[in-house]
Amino acid sequence: MNILHIKYAIEVARVGSLNKAAQNLILAQPNLSRSIKELEAEMGIKIFERSVKGMVLTPEGEEFIEYAKGIIDHINQVDMIYKSGAAKKQKFSVSVPRACYISEAFVEFSKSIPDTNTEIFYKETDSKSTINDILDSDYKLGIIRYSSNYDKYFKSMLEEKGLSYEMIAEFSYKLIMSMDNPLSHKETITFDDLEDYIRISHADPHIPSLSIAKAMREELPDNIRRCIYIFERASQYDLLSKNSQTYMWGSSVPAGVLEKYCLVQRDCKSNKKIYKDLLIYRSGYKFTELDNNFITELCRSRRRNLGYNL
């Protein structure tokens, strides 16, 4: 495929005329017309309809031009980076569970982003998607969360897939609810106390091989009659703060967030489960300066919110 011919086609599509395009490209019109015909023959499609009104894109031509613009954009980026001496773009990417102490760490990390070409990707999702992000989507770091009774399962799977891991946190879930929730005033909360209330849960399982329904049954008590499943954290706080019948399980929430949304967090003595957050990455991957800065803030946030060092 001739790159010049692609550029010619993009210019013809932009101005809608062979004459104008030829003038802009400083090219003889017959040569431009021949280049367009050669490109159409090579692609096996008709890119333009020729009429008295000028050059009009066909449906196939519209699709081709969109792809062509992407190709030229990538070529221009390569030229800018390697020919103009521009600084190489720094990149940071992490896929994580929906957890306040992690998002707090990310906010603090964001304050130290260098004043250079930098791209940052921060994604909140479930453990299965995080593992796939590392393996298939070029994310460099991930944090997965699971119940400790699945420890052998996860570590065996990670090793099988060529992923390294490090323990970030180990904790029991807290109950998070509105200050107006009647349970917020109880000294001791049990699973039975929760039966008449509405549980808010993230609608994706921690265990990759289980369905959502089965994963939820394994993670939480079975006596819950009403549950709202959500996919992001903003709605959970609105629900918790404005509906005093709701509650949610989660890792410890920073005091500032609790105060902002008029929430409290309580222990439940019936809940004996321990959860683990693991940092994962491809085996052999070398941490960048950005990676190390994020991990530093992650450890600080863990210490502030979960109250310990590893």
- Residue 217 CB neighbour total at 10 angstroms: 13
Average pLDDT across the chain, whole number: 87
Regarding whether 265 and 183 lie in a shared domain, the answer is: yes
Regarding whether 281 and 158 lie in a shared domain, the answer is: yes
Regarding whether 286 and 164 lie in a shared domain, the answer is: yes
Phi, psi (rounded to 5 degrees) for 115 = -85, 60
Confidence of residue 152 (pLDDT cuts 50, 70, 90): very high
Confidence of residue 218 (pLDDT cuts 50, 70, 90): low
Q: Which of 27, 60, 82 is the last residue of a domain?
A: 82
Residue 217 pLDDT > 80, yes or no? no
Regarding whether 117 and 49 lie in a shared domain, the answer is: no
Regarding whether 190 and 133 lie in a shared domain, the answer is: no
Regarding whether 149 and 196 lie in a shared domain, the answer is: no
- For the segment 104-120, the average pLDDT, to the nearest whole number, is 92
The angle that helices 289-306 and 100-110 make with each other, rounded to 10 degrees, is 140
Tens-place pLDDT, residues 70-92: 899 888 877 776 665 555 678 99
Regarding whether 104 and 44 lie in a shared domain, the answer is: no
Between 17-31, 61-75, 82-96, 149-163, the lowest mean confidence (pLDDT) is in 82-96
Tens-place pLDDT, residues 244-293: 999 999 899 989 999 999 999 999 988 889 999 999 999 999 999 999 99
Residue 206 pLDDT > 80, yes or no? no
How high is the pLDDT of residue 92? 96
- For the segment 1-21, the average pLDDT, to the nearest whole number, is 90
Structure tokens, 6: 């692609």
Regarding whether 196 and 261 lie in a shared domain, the answer is: yes
Regarding whether 94 and 242 lie in a shared domain, the answer is: no
Report which of residues 282 and 223 the model is more confident about.
282
Query: What is the CATH number for 267?
Result: 3.40.190.10
Query: What is the CATH number for 12?
Result: 1.10.10.10
Residue 144 pLDDT > 70, yes or no? yes
Regarding whether 280 and 166 lie in a shared domain, the answer is: yes
How high is the pLDDT of residue 216? 47
Regarding whether 177 and 250 lie in a shared domain, the answer is: yes
Residue 275 class from Cβ within 10 Å (0-12 exposed, 13-18 middle, 19+ buried)?
Answer: buried
Residue 226 pLDDT > 50, yes or no? yes
Distance between CA 280 and CA 165 in Å, rounded?
Answer: 4
- For the segment 132-143, the average pLDDT, to the nearest whole number, is 93
Regarding whether 291 and 143 lie in a shared domain, the answer is: yes
Q: Categorise residue 8: left if φ over 0, alpha if ψ from -120 to 50, beta otherwise.
A: alpha
Domain count of the fold of the chain: 3
Q: Which of 57, 82, 107 is the last residue of a domain?
A: 82
**Structural domain containing residue 217:** 173-272
- For the segment 162-170, the average pLDDT, to the nearest whole number, is 95
Structure tokens, 226: 């009403």
